Copies of this chain bind each other. A is one copy, B any other.
Amino acid sequence: MAKYEKISEAVVRRLPIYLRYLSYLQQVNVTTVSSQQMGMNLDVNPAQIRKDLAAFGDFGKKGIGYDVNYLVENIRQILKLTDEVRVVLVGAGHLGHAISNYNAYVKDNIRIAAIFDNDASKLGKEVAGLPIQSMSEMAHTIAEKNIKLAIMTVPAPAAQTVCDQLVSFGIKGILNFAPTTIKVPKDVRVHYADVTSNLQSLAYYIT
């Protein structure tokens, strides 16, 4: 029986990982997969995978496993990846460039739809086929293209200001590369992707 429990944060973090592996299976024409096999490949406990998947419906067949296509389709739906997901990127520095040019998103139905920077000398220059736009155009572009997600690759001191603008223009999710905590309303979600803190916590585990 399908359920309507709320899906936990941890599950939402794992779904893209499942999706990635399942998409790979599609490519190599595997049609069925067991939680056991997925777990082996992704280093996740099979019971966990079954529980995760059971949280949003009855996808498996006892004795058989899961139908790969069916699972892919459903995880896409859960994650709201069925339509193209458009994202704005703010901060056309080195990292912003790198992320924009990384076109592997496309196959995952994610598109960087606009790029902004506050440096006047960069305006109009193209990055990955998109012109760098002025911050003053943000409101308009976000509304026009109905964008809900943003990537921030700005310096730490600019992060809160940029974030406030994005939120006021209707952005609901922010991937923040700036090395600073930002404050957002409860209905906006921030994921932190700061390289330094990531390395620093990694350092703890050396020997």
Contact = CB atoms under 8 A, between A and B. Distances in A.
Interface of A: 7, 12-13, 15-17, 19-21, 41-43, 78-81, 85, 87, 93-95, 97-99, 101-102, 104-105, 108, 110, 148-149, 151, 172-175, 179-181, 183, 187, 189, 191, 193, 195-207
Contacts of A17: 181, 197
A179 to B, nearest CB: 7
A151 B78 CA distance: 31
Given A149-B206, A206-B172, A200 B79 contact: yes
Contact of A206 (B43, B80, B98, B181): B80
A175 B206 CA distance: 13
B95 A99 contact: yes
Nearest to A95: B98
A41 B7 CA distance: 29
A110 B199 contact: yes
A173 B94 contact: no
Contacts of A199: 85, 87, 105, 110, 149, 151, 175
Contact of A202 (B108, B175, B179): B175
Interface centre among A16, A189, A202, by most chain B C-beta atoms within 10 angstroms, is A202
Nearest to A14: B201
A13 B80 CA distance: 28
A199 B95 CA distance: 16
A104 B157 CA distance: 13
B104 A179 contact: yes
A-B residue pairs, 7 tightest by C-beta:
A16-B197, A94-B98, A16-B200, A98-B98, A173-B202, A189-B205, A95-B98
